[in-house]
Amino acid sequence: MKKKKKKSFESMPEILFVEHDVVCAEVRSIQHDGSLQLHARSQKYGKLEKGQLLKVDPYLVKRSKHHFHYIESLGIDLIIGCNGFIWVGEHVEVRDPVMMIDGQKDDEMISSSSSTKEQSHTPLETRQNICRIGNAIRVLSNLGFTVTVQVITETVNLSNSKNVDIHEMLCSEFHVLVAENEAERRREKRKK
């Protein structure tokens, strides 16, 4: 008589994503049933954490060769998708997921680095920068302006130079300032 092997939790596959996780990936193909096949070509793709996901009308997003941006002065990662989804989050260094020591995985290092990641908190200044950039995108979307990393940065800089608080960026006065700034920028562009 053969003994049945019990399934152990060690042999169960690790759950990578759960409902409501935000994931960055390329659409590889769309199946006949409407389901998507996603593709992650490099380490810059994957689960996004410590930030906010915004949605603007896709026609506001200018096509670009680069969708991934790092705003170094603020320590923020920005992903501007052609589909209108925009991710604003804490900067994450892209690292090799498999650490090798003498040709073997160092499970202790991997587990300690993942537990450190879970326990780390986003600094207040970084959270404020995420909110400021998010509000700049909301203002640009409300005004119907094209959303590019340059225009977002200009809007953030305008809010800082005028000492506008993060929550005041959504008020009509700041919308007027942004519209006037954009009109001036377009005038200067025509002169050149």
pLDDT value of position 21: 65
Return the amino acid letter for 187.
Answer: R
Joined tokens for residue 50:
């410590």
Q: Running DSSP on this structure, what letter comes out for residue 59?
A: G
Pairing of the two strands 104-105 and 100-101? antiparallel
Phi, psi dihedral angles at 8 (to 5 degrees): -100, 155
DSSP code per residue over 3-51: PPPPPPGGGSPPP---TT-EEE-EEEEE-TTS-EEEE--STT-EEE-SE
Joined tokens for residue 99:
């650490």
CA–CA separation, 67 vs 111, rounded Å?
A: 31
Bridge partners of 77?
Answer: 70, 89
pLDDT value of position 101: 39
pLDDT value of position 9: 47
Per residue of the chain (192 residues), give pLDDT as tens.
555 555 544 544 555 767 766 666 667 788 888 887 776 665 566 666 778 999 999 999 988 888 888 889 998 989 898 889 998 988 777 654 443 334 444 444 344 344 444 557 878 898 999 999 999 999 999 999 999 999 999 999 999 999 999 999 999 999 999 999 999 988 988 887
Half-sphere exposure of 12 (CA within 13 A, CB side): 7
Joined tokens for residue 87:
């991710």
The sign of the dihedral angle between the CA atoms of 39, 42, 48, 51 is: negative
Half-sphere exposure of 184 (CA within 13 A, CB side): 9
CA–CA separation, 71 vs 174, rounded Å?
A: 22
pTM: 0.71
